[in-house]
């Protein structure tokens, strides 16, 4: 991201390793504590619910939200239902487990908490390579694909708005993927949904021959505004967003 536009701070809490881009020449006393409070809140929601439904943390397939019953008291409270319903809904839409959206959910939750606490601003929250973005004018989002020769050679031009920009890979990072893509990057208006779609698409890409079929599927999904798939030395792109080359042709 543009270092002339943002200053960056890092916050680490348990499994969460966050990089936040804040407007340059700004100072927000207490922002680290605000972020940690939101991380604690979100972690508690997920861990508490997983005690009621142990499948929640490990399922690779969609789940239904448990409903409370007088006998067991299982299910979700009204205070936590929104986040859980988001994760369940993302899994149902994409055919994945609810945790496929967790990085995007955390990034969005933290971003919105910061804006609620400190006021409207441009903001980037990176959570393990998945981004929540709030921008007031066009911003370049570079397509990174590890050791691929195509990595960092192109970028999406992201217009003003609120966005999720998420990447899944079968060759880099620690997140589990059933596929072999070097990178599948997805841009949606919702960060949790972008995270879940990136996971779902990457799971199905075993080699470059799978790219065209997946891109045809992407073309029929209105929530996906931009998608790039990189496998070895091949890239495929679909969506409404402009692409910019970051290197000059030789």
Mean pLDDT by 10 residues, the chain (250 residues): 85 89 93 95 95 95 79 54 95 97 97 97 95 97 87 94 94 71 95 97 93 94 96 93 77
Give me the pLDDT at residue 81, please: 84
Residues 16 and 32: their CA atoms lie apart, in Å, by: 13
How many CB atoms are located within 10 Å of the residue 145 CB? 26
How many CB atoms are located within 10 Å of the residue 85 CB? 13
Q: Which of 122, 129, 114 is nearest to 185 (CA)?
A: 129
Give me the pLDDT at residue 45, please: 95
Determine, yes or no, domain membership for 63: yes
Determine, yes or no, domain membership for 35: yes
Determine, yes or no, domain membership for 250: no
Residues 19 and 94: their CA atoms lie apart, in Å, by: 27
Determine, yes or no, domain membership for 172: yes
Residues 91 and 101: their CA atoms lie apart, in Å, by: 8
Give me the pLDDT at residue 72, please: 43
Give me the pLDDT at residue 232, please: 86
Q: Provide the domain limits for residue 144.
A: 6-245
Buried b / exposed e over 235-249, threshold 16 CB at 10 Å, is: bbbbbebeeeeeeee
- C-beta separation of 220 from 189 below 8 A: no
> How many domains are contained in the chain?
1
174 three-class SS: coil
Rounded to whole angstroms, the maximal C-alpha distance in the chain is: 70
Give me the pLDDT at residue 69, please: 47
Give me the pLDDT at residue 23, please: 95
Decide: pTM greater than 0.75: yes
Domain with residue 213: its CATH number is 3.10.520.10
Determine, yes or no, domain membership for 208: yes
Determine, yes or no, domain membership for 213: yes
Give me the pLDDT at residue 71, please: 46
Determine, yes or no, domain membership for 1: no
Determine, yes or no, domain membership for 28: yes
Q: Which two tokens stand for residue 14?
A: 């348990």
In terms of phi and psi (left: phi > 0; alpha: psi -120 to 50; beta: otherwise), the region of 10 is beta
Chain position carrying tokens 């217009």:
159
pLDDT, mean over the chain: 90
């Amino acid at each position: 991201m543009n270092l002339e536009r943002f200053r960056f701070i890092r916050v680490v809490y348990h499994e969460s390793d966050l990089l936040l881009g804040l407007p340059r020449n700004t100072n927000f006393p207490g922002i680290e504590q605000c972020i940690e409070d939101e991380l604690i809140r979100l972690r508690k929601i997920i861990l508490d619910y997983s005690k009621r439904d142990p499948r929640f943390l490990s399922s690779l397939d969609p789940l239904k939200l448990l409903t409370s019953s007088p006998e067991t008291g299982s299910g979700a409270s009204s205070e936590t239902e929104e986040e859980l319903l988001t994760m369940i809904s993302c899994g149902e839409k994409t055919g994945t487990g609810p945790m496929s959206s967790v990085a995007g959910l955390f990034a969005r939750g933290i971003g919105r908490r910061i804006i609620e606490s400190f006021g409207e601003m441009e903001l980037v929250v990176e959570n393990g390579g998945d981004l929540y973005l709030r921008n007031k004018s066009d911003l370049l989002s570079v397509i990174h694909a590890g050791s691929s020769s195509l990595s960092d050679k192109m970028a999406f031009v992201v217009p003003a708005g609120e966005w999720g920009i998420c990447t899944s890979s079968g060759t880099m990072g620690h997140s589990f993927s059933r596929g072999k893509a070097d990178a599948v990057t997805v841009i949606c208006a919702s960060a949790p949904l972008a995270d879940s779609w990136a996971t779902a698409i990457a799971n199905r890409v075993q080699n470059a021959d799978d790219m065209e079929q997946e891109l045809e599927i992407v073309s029929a999904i209105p929530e996906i505004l931009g998608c790039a798939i990189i496998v070895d030395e091949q890239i495929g792109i679909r969506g409404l967003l402009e692409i910019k080359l970051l290197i000059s042709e030789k």
